[in-house]
Amino acid sequence: MLKCTITNCVKKHYATGYCISHYGRKWRLKLIEELGGQTCKRCGKDDVRCLQIDHINGGGRKDSSKYSNNQQMYKFYLKNIDKMRSTLRVLCVNCNWITRFQNNGQNINKQKLKIMNMLNQKSCIHCGFCDLRALQLDHINGGGNEDRRKNKEYNVYGYYIKNYIKALFSIQILCANCNWVKVYENNECYKNA
């Protein structure tokens, strides 16, 4: 089997030399450029590794469910870019999460707060960002997907609350931006796929 040309990716590649996930990244970058460039429209963050496409009026999850993968969705948006410019924008992951909370009236998960207290981490351990709406649990050595599959009887928060010692050595608090950069740099989402 021929593997994807991206370092540490073990998925098989297609004619492009990339697996479907890495090939989709190229289309994402093209769409970001067409929507005004590599800068978050809310805060100005310019690290492309943590930029996302946001649906200004919501409905992103519903819209993405129409496509079998992000690559197809990005190609559709690019094909219809004049129409899409009024409905899409570029946000960093932190701003995207904060927007979701604002739009959906969600509350901060109480179990997440409990774990943050257990770990004695009230902000991102990498950059110090402290808005709870964009703070996430990060598996220090990757493997979050595998962890979720193994512990189906608990949500991730409940599992680590019940397994305090494992939590101390397995997870940390990162803001969404730092978490996405870490995933991107370490190809974490592709290791166990």
The helix/strand/coil state of 12 is: strand
DSSP 174: E
Least Cα distance to 76 among 65, 67, 88 occurs for 67
**Exposed e or buried b per residue across 120-135, where buried means at least 16 C-beta atoms within 10 angstroms of its C-beta:** ebebbebeebeeebbb
The torsion angles phi and psi of 117, rounded to 5 degrees, stand at -65, -40
Q: Which pLDDT score, from 0 to 100, does residue 115 have?
A: 93
Q: Are 139 and 171 in contact (CB under 8 A)?
A: yes
The helix/strand/coil state of 15 is: coil
Whether this model's pTM surpasses 0.75: yes
Per-residue pLDDT of the chain (193 residues; tens, 9 = 90+): 577 776 667 777 666 677 766 667 778 889 999 999 899 999 999 999 899 999 998 888 888 889 887 888 999 999 999 999 999 999 999 999 999 888 777 777 888 899 999 999 999 999 999 999 999 999 998 887 777 777 766 678 888 899 889 889 999 999 999 999 998 888 776 544 4
CA distance 50 to 29: 11
The sign of the CA dihedral 125, 126, 131, 136 is negative
CA distance 95 to 79: 26
Q: Are 96 and 131 in contact (CB under 8 A)?
A: no
The helix/strand/coil state of 117 is: helix
* DSSP string computed for 46-87: --GGGEEEEETTS-HHHHHTTSSSHHHHHHHHHHTHHHHTTT
